[in-house]
Amino acid sequence: MASITLDKIVKTYGASTAVHGIDLQIADGEFVVLVGPSGCGKSTTLRMIAGLESISGGTLKIGARVVNQMEPKQRNIAMVFQNYAIYPHMTVHQNIGFGLYTSKLSRAEKDARVQEVGRILGLSHLLERRPAALSGGQRQRVAIGRAMVRDPQAFLFDEPLSNLDAQLRGQMRLEIKQLHQRLGSTIVFVTHDQVEAMSMADRIVVMREGRILQVGAPMELYNRP
Ligand code: ADP
Ligand code: ADP
């Protein structure tokens, strides 16, 4: 796990600026939620951290290393999307194991790692199933398992719960929070839902129009006039 440092990070698309020089220090093991209305630059910021989007200005560090020019794979940052990104034709085991397909582990080592991740996520009894035979919450856990299996430096979540019904959303909030407590992972979680931000974050970063408006612990922001 590692800290993440954004130093005057800028993103421009042609003549328009999506992110206007953001400064943010995310501590090793911290759970940070980026919150704000649609279009304020949350997803762009997350994608720059992941290396899925080029950085137009500023410096991005993971731990002590500047990663501006580094490929996503080298950063070893795991991204979990709202549409799950799991393969319907593969079993749960194969889906989770897919995260290891470029690794040099032996087949037995890969299998052990998949079993371990399956245990952590409560999927052990479902490893031979395909996604169609899983519930929404189980599928979400498979997507997290795929991200976890490589032991990433940090997890990035881009509105992962917004397609789920209210009850499942509540349950998954709790599960992701528990996972954070168990693994001590650095997590950056994007949502437009303030309740979600309040219930999950160590620290909330409120964004508006490509800038940071406020940063604080949930209770600090809640009590501020
Ligand atoms: P959010 O995640 O907060 O909804 P985004 O980061 O997706 O916001 O978008 C921030 C701004 O950047 C928006 O104005 C959006 O239209 C713009 N934007 C995002 N991606 C692109 C792109 N590929 N090309 C041009 N503009 C983009
Ligand atoms: P193959 O047997 O040709 O490798 P599979 O579709 O059985 O193809 O598995 C593909 C990969 O998924 C394997 O390399 C293995 O690591 C993993 N895998 C899938 N299911 C299991 C399982 N039940 N036990 C161990 N490994 C599995």
Does the pLDDT value for residue 29 go beyond 80? Answer: yes
Q: What is the pLDDT of residue 198?
A: 93
Picking from 147, 161, 143, 190, the residue whose alpha carbon sits closest to that of residue 26 is: 190
> Residue 9: what residue type?
I
> Ligand 2 centre from 205 Cα, in Å?
41
- Tokens of residue 87, six digits: 């393969």
CA 75 – CA 93 distance, rounded (Å): 24
Over residues 194-209, mean pLDDT? 95
Over residues 163-183, mean pLDDT? 87
Average pLDDT, the chain: 92
pLDDT tens digits for range 175-199: 899 889 988 999 999 999 999 999 9
Over residues 130-158, mean pLDDT? 91
CA 13 – CA 189 distance, rounded (Å): 23
Range scoring the smallest mean pLDDT among 123-137, 163-177, 194-208? 163-177
Calculate the alpha carbon distances from 107 to 35, 90, 97, 104, 190 in Å: 41, 17, 10, 9, 35
Q: What is the pLDDT of residue 175?
A: 87
What atom in ligand 2 is closest to the CA of residue 100? 16
> Ligand 2 centre from 145 Cα, in Å?
16
Q: What is the pLDDT of residue 102?
A: 80
Instruction: Tabulate helix, strand, coil % of the chain (nearest 5).
Output: 35, 25, 35
Question: What percentage of the chain has pLDDT greater than the value 90?
Answer: 72
Name the closest-CA residue to atom 5, ligand 1: 41
Q: What is the value of ipTM here, to two decimals?
A: 0.70
**Most confident residue range from 123-132, 144-153, 177-186:** 123-132
Name the closest-CA residue to atom 26, ligand 2: 111
Does the pLDDT value for residue 163 go beyond 80? Answer: no
Q: What is the pLDDT of residue 83?
A: 65
Q: What is the pLDDT of residue 225?
A: 62
Over residues 133-155, mean pLDDT? 90
Does the pLDDT value for residue 154 go beyond 90? Answer: yes
- E strand segments, the chain: 4-13, 16-26, 31-35, 57-62, 65-66, 77-81, 154-158, 187-191, 203-208, 211-216
Q: What is the pLDDT of residue 84?
A: 66
**Most confident residue range from 77-86, 105-114, 141-150, 155-164:** 105-114
pLDDT tens digits for range 60-118: 999 999 999 999 888 989 888 766 678 999 999 999 999 888 889 999 999 999 999 99
In short, whether 111's Cβ falls inside 6 Å of ligand 2 is yes
At 168, the pLDDT band (50, 70, 90 cuts) reads: confident
